[in-house]
Structure 1
């Protein structure tokens, strides 16, 4: 399942490719009949809140987004959803965004026949985007959009996010912090990779109850997430390691499918095996202390942690205050990776 930064990249791609254009909308699969009602409307905006995508449509360009007549297509990709882009050169920053590993189609994009599983096709003057396999695809009015925003926790990538809502919800709960970070009602957009990595960087045991953490510790988690997720939104890559730690035990235990990220073929990109501290590193030595990384089930997902580094619950590691983004800016490693055919699927 794509993590929140991926959905923000998707919203940006839709705005760049179709923003302020009258577009054709259809449902080749036939399961999204509302697509016909929006056919010919203007794609006025696209926004992400956590893992939810909201695409705003207005009847014509004279209607501002947010007007009562605006309709929003809400999409949640879930485990199997994917958007595939095709069009003129420079139309989209990636061929595909989402879980399935599908190569962007080649040839004249205007003649591309949609796959039978295409739930929604959006076609503009320079390209098209096909949605397949989403968990949710529905049309909402303004009140429906508001309900989506209200029920979700704050999103570290949104300018209107209130981190104190996150602090309050965590500290009011007896639930383990490792579970709370995956609860989209507590914080929107964090998936399994960010959950594992942010807890390691904070040196927090995933099982510690939220109410046992100080307000400062919870704010520290938020403050660490923001630059990490901004980097992910900009590049399509999750990288949480400090440069000086990347060559230490540079291994990862991937499943057969692997954890694919944008720019994996770019020699300037940080390799996957150097990108994470604990995610998919179970049984391997911790990069910092050498203790074997553990994994276990937590709320139906696998959590990864170092039992030594993450046994301290009362303080944060000093080095977590130094964000990878700052180091990349100094070293020149902050260059945008080349466009890839897919985004990471786990989260």
Structure 2
């Protein structure tokens, strides 16, 4: 599943090519045919991201809501438009570029009330200027759930995915099983600041980079991580432990990430 920086990067790029432009909207696959017809020929007024949700605003207070889920993907190309490749749920064509969206979990038109209900159930997104960290800390500080679970709960904090979860907790020396209600405000503020910095770097580089002073990688796999899917910890050189948290793989260093002594 794409992490939050990917969706914010897409929103930024699509805003540049689509904002205040009339778009041709189609559904080559056919599964979004009615929605595409309703939006075709309309002006896109804004593109924004809420966590892992991509929102295209159109005239008439209508929005196109896209959530890629585990298998969806977005492709941006310059015109002229090639033939659709694969099962393209929706194709958006502007003056200079097109965007194809394949295999999203959600692809739907929402009215203002529906959009408000969607965004109200999404947690604070630290990549947005309107993010409220107090709201996230309030949820975490009252929860006995592990911080490893809470960071992936999009109603608590929006945008952090599996790789960022592992890397942020390692960078701060927090064990993924630590209950949220044991996280101090100072630790939370440090977590929020570090996560926001890493996600902003991800938007800039279009890759997950959590290694300090690391340059962007080359080729298909450009991520630069410390312990995710790595055998050894770069800090203590001990073995990294792999665990599953709600069916998703995660990693931690048992020497550098120790549970608090008051945990039981």
Question: TM-score band, normalised by the shorter chain?
Answer: over 0.9
Is the 1:294–1:304 Cα contact (8 Å) retained in structure 2? yes
What is residue 44 of structure 1 aligned with on the other side?
45
User: Cα distance, 1:235 vs. partner?
Assistant: 1.3
Runs of 4 or more above 4 Å deviation: none
Aligned equivalent of 2:155, options 155, 161, 185: 185
Does residue 264 (structure 1) correspond to residue 218 (structure 2)? The answer is: yes
What is residue 80 of structure 1 aligned with on the other side?
71
Does residue 290 (structure 1) correspond to residue 237 (structure 2)? The answer is: yes
User: Cα distance, 1:115 vs. partner?
Assistant: 3.2
**CA offset digits 1:222-279 (Å, max 9, x no partner):** 0111111111111112111223xx7xxxxxxxxxxxxxxx85239xxx964xx21211
| CA–CA distance in structure 1, aligned partners of residues 211 and 219 of structure 2 | 19
Q: TM-score, normalised by structure 1?
A: 0.72
Answer 1 or 2: higher relative contact order, Cα 8 Å, separation at least 6: 1
Does residue 5 (structure 1) correspond to residue 5 (structure 2)? The answer is: yes
User: Partner of 1:309: helix, strand, or coil?
Assistant: coil
What is residue 334 of structure 1 aligned with on the other side?
none
**CA offset digits 1:78-99 (Å, max 9, x no partner):** 11111112215xxxxxxxxxxx
What's the C-alpha RMSD, in Å, of the aligned pairs? Answer: 1.8
Unaligned runs of 5+ in 1: 59-68, 89-108, 247-261, 315-347
Aligned equivalent of 1:305, options 243, 252, 256: 252
Q: TM-score, normalised by structure 2?
A: 0.93
| CA–CA distance in structure 2, aligned partners of residues 229 and 171 of structure 1 | 23
User: Partner of 1:9: helix, strand, or coil?
Assistant: helix
| CA–CA distance in structure 2, aligned partners of residues 297 and 51 of structure 1 | 22
Is the 1:5–1:232 Cα contact (8 Å) retained in structure 2? yes
Residues 203-214 of structure 1 correspond to what in structure 2 (within 5 A)?
203-214=173-184
**CA offset digits 1:155-176 (Å, max 9, x no partner):** 1100000001111111110100
User: Partner of 1:311: helix, strand, or coil?
Assistant: coil
What is residue 205 of structure 2 aligned with on the other side?
235
Is the 2:86–2:102 Cα contact (8 Å) retained in structure 1? no
What is residue 318 of structure 1 aligned with on the other side?
none
| CA–CA distance in structure 1, aligned partners of residues 225 and 133 of structure 2 | 25
| CA–CA distance in structure 2, aligned partners of residues 135 and 242 of structure 1 | 34
User: Partner of 1:169: helix, strand, or coil?
Assistant: helix
| CA–CA distance in structure 2, aligned partners of residues 231 and 167 of structure 1 | 23
User: Cα distance, 1:116 vs. partner?
Assistant: 5.2
Alignment coverage as a number of residue pairs: 259
Is the 2:178–2:259 Cα contact (8 Å) retained in structure 1? no
Does residue 276 (structure 1) correspond to residue 246 (structure 2)? The answer is: no
User: Partner of 1:167: helix, strand, or coil?
Assistant: helix
